[in-house]
Structure 1
Amino acid sequence: MAKSKSKTYTTSELANHFNISVVSASRFIVKHNFKPVKTGNHNAKYYSDAVYQQMKKYYQNKPKSGVKQSHPATKDDIIEQLQSRIKEQAATIELLKQQLTIKDEQIATANRIADQAQQLDLTTHKQQKIPEQIPNKYAENNKHGFWWKITH
């Protein structure tokens, strides 16, 4: 019986074949918990044809997002982009102004409540001090001594 040799691939070979970075290929391998079939020189890891087939299946179905426009932006395009930014920022400023108005109203209400509480507290303290201010019949006679108050 002869051993059937299946093709093995290093991470960089897989990356080159699918036109992706080596880091992306490594992440794909780690994500799917693929184990290397063997380790070669300089700790190079070789993966089986099954890994190749999985990557092929994944990257064939993945949409190409690397389509870039090669024409440079014109002045009109730049002006439109800047105007749209200005509109967005103006809307943000308007929203912040509305929030600031609401916060100002809340602060005014809180100040009003604090003033009312302070006035109530002051009124309460005044009412408690009134009984203490009733004149004592002996308070006026402090000029005289102790024996004079007893005899009179």
Structure 2
Amino acid sequence: DLGNLQSIPRASTITTTAPGEIHFFDKSEGPVGSWYWNFGEGSTSFEIHPSFYYTNPGIYNVTLTVTGLNGATSDGQMTIVVTAEGAQDHDRGDINGDGSLTVVDVLLCTNYILGLMEFTPEEFLAADADGNGVIDIFDALGISDLAD
């Protein structure tokens, strides 16, 4: 038995300003034989620890596919947020940028989770209340707890 294979992609940071470089690291578990990174905008790499230069603002889903010595594969994903230079930051939780946390921010977060809307990079960062790079129900609950 070669053990379980689990792809675990990591990055030096999950946010940058365009144009900006991000360094990626493989923290996968198990016997990895090969690596395939997809940086979410059409470019790929077979390096273990690649760097990638993002030129355009956006929200990018990065995937690391590792192949084990026995041929098994595992995919891991992470989100990279690239903002435009000079873009106005939103306070954490203040998705609509109106200066206060309200039920509107909770609804915006919930609609994003349900796939009913997309966010700009700045809105994504504001909605990620716990700062883990994933917008989920825990972010909506966190914003709800802080809302007026």
TM-score by length of structure 2 reads 0.16
Name the one with the larger strand percent.
2
Structure with bigger gyration radius: 1
Name the one with the larger helix percent.
1
TM-score by length of structure 1 reads 0.16
Bigger RCO of structures 1 and 2 (CA < 8 A, at least 6 apart): 2
